[in-house]
Every structure is written in structure tokens, then in C-alpha cells.
């Protein structure tokens, strides 16, 4: 089982290697006209922005969230920031 602390203290390349080898790509979303990839690795959820929106290139930004509850809260906050409350 992966811990958030261990994952966050790994190099970006090791993080990406782990996501691609052992993680599950849940999908993508658009954020500020960019493509963001969302992975699940054990109880971690990780959003990655790659150069040129291409998952075969180096990562630009990695956001790590622990647990489904934190992912839902984060995505809800992002949704409200982009679209307002409905």
C-alpha cells in the first residue's frame, strides 16, 4: 500500500512511473484549457498535467489527494470555482 508521504517524497519521474505501472487512469478533465489526467493509486488520487497535454511527456504539475472524500471535495471546489453554484 502506498502512502501519501512516500509518494510525495519520490521524484516526479518515480511518481509518474508508479502511476503508469500500478495506478489506474480514471479519466481526464479540462482545467484552464489544459488536459488533466486523474489516476488512482491505492488510496491516493493524483492529478497530473503533462507538457503539451501529452501523457508521454514530462509532468508539469502533480496534485496528490488522499482518499475518495478528499478527491470529491477537491473536484467540487474546482467545479464551483469554474461554474459557480447551481
pLDDT, tens only, 49-82: 999 999 999 999 999 999 999 999 998 998 888 8
Residue 4 pLDDT exceeds 90: no
Predicted pLDDT at 18: 94
pTM of the model: 0.84
Instruction: Give the contacts of 9 (CB within 8 A, at least 6 positions apart).
Output: none
Identify the sign of the CA torsion 37, 38, 40, 41: positive
Number of domains in the chain: 1
Segments forming the whole domain that contains residue 24: 4-83
Amino acid at each position: 500500500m502506498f502512502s501519501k508521504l512516500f509518494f510525495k517524497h519520490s521524484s516526479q519521474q518515480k511518481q509518474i512511473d508508479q502511476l503508469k505501472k500500478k495506478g489506474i487512469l480514471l479519466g481526464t478533465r479540462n482545467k484552464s484549457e489544459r488536459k488533466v489526467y486523474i489516476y488512482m493509486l491505492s488510496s491516493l488520487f493524483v492529478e497530473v498535467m503533462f507538457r503539451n497535454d501529452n501523457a508521454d511527456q514530462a509532468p508539469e504539475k502533480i496534485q496528490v489527494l488522499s482518499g475518495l472524500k478528499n478527491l470529491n471535495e477537491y473536484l467540487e471546489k474546482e467545479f464551483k470555482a469554474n461554474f459557480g453554484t447551481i
